[in-house]
Copies of this chain bind each other. A is one copy, B any other.
């Protein structure tokens, strides 16, 4: 019945695709580069939305919705912006049976259309800061796509803010980077490195881009979220000005920040294994599946009744109330399916805990509880089940983060020899931390010769503390290197 999942060590890319398709998270669509997000995958996105939306609102931002069509002339108003996005645009030329006078671009991001409204809404310093967020679909035409990780259309949230001073804009940019960092670690159980992007990797139109970078199980980096300080670049293009307290008209200082459905791919590649999906409990739609083992049991009704009773106890326990979600329990009473099939299915779907209860268990007053993440099996007395389930869910959430962090740290190396680096990135993969002279030439050389890029210049002062100075990994210049860069191959 069941298809086989390619083991990670055999072919990581095929493993990923097998998990996504077999767990029915997403599917290929008949439209080139576009995916269908199936209910199992969309449910993960819904959990992400709910959790992150609350964090965004807690910063004072409010949700709004802007048109997905952008007049072509708007995209062209900011020079770097149009240069960066031009190759990826989808263009509506006809509508309502006629050729349009001006072509419309399907938004690849919304800085331009939003600035055209901000220019109207922002009049005075009293209107600032203006903090807006939008949950929407965007389109960037891509040649090579992968489910969740890179698709022509994807879902995301994009925040757009206006501030009175450059300092406030920078503060907002970094605040949102912190929100993403906390969210990734606390909710996705995905450890990330917040850092600044190099000039060549920054957003088209930004003064400065920050990102959070995660390590996947194949030791490649995934950019999991970005936060941009736009300075007044778009404000200039759209004349977004305010009357300041000193009576002068000034351009606003702006930021934008976003995460997308790509995070679902990141979660899969961080936690899952050769049996299928592994989900942190905060993202799981179902936390526990209860399997009554009826087989040849003389008392099936009693077993089923006990399952119902335990499910109710689990949901109503004091420990459960301490969790930031309601425990969702599925009791699979379908007796047309084999137990082996059920084990396989629920492991594939990544349900964090599985409980079995049969005739012998009922006699002994215990159940069998199995963790999806570690495979650990426990016999738990009825009276302790409710507390145990809630405690384990919290442990799994924490354990997944710790495991992923340990894996990343084991595969992150300080390095000073370019020759060593070139060999190791090819053989072992991983993150390589080294001084960098900040020249585009050195960055480009690394890219050409090793297929690695500068993922970021990490912000965390406590992340692998460095000695001062050191020579640039690439050109060995000693005069400039004030920064450390993380070099890695990436998605």
Contacts and interface: CB of A to CB of B under 8 A. Distances in A.
A132 B29 contact: no
Contacts of A79: none
Contacts of A63: 39, 42-43, 46
Contact of A67 (B74, B132, B153): B153
A394 to B, nearest CB: 25
A392 to B, nearest CB: 26
A369 interface: no
Contact of A117 (B36, B95, B137): B36
Contacts of A38: 64
A66 B36 contact: yes
Given A27-B120, A69-B31, A91 B90 contact: no
Contact of A64 (B36, B74, B93): B36
A243 interface: no
A212 interface: no
Interface residues of A, number: 53
A96 B141 contact: yes
Interface stretch (A81-89, A426-434, A474-482): A81-89
A116 B29 CA distance: 8
Nearest to A46: B63
Contacts of A381: none
A277 B342 CA distance: 53
A245 to B, nearest CB: 13
A30 B116 contact: yes
Interface in A51-104: 62-71, 74, 86-97, 104
22 contacts: A27-B117, A27-B120, A29-B117, A30-B113, A31-B113, A34-B67, A36-B64, A36-B66, A36-B117, A37-B65, A39-B64, A43-B62, A43-B63, A46-B63, A67-B153, A68-B137, A68-B153, A86-B97, A89-B97, A90-B92, A96-B142, A136-B137
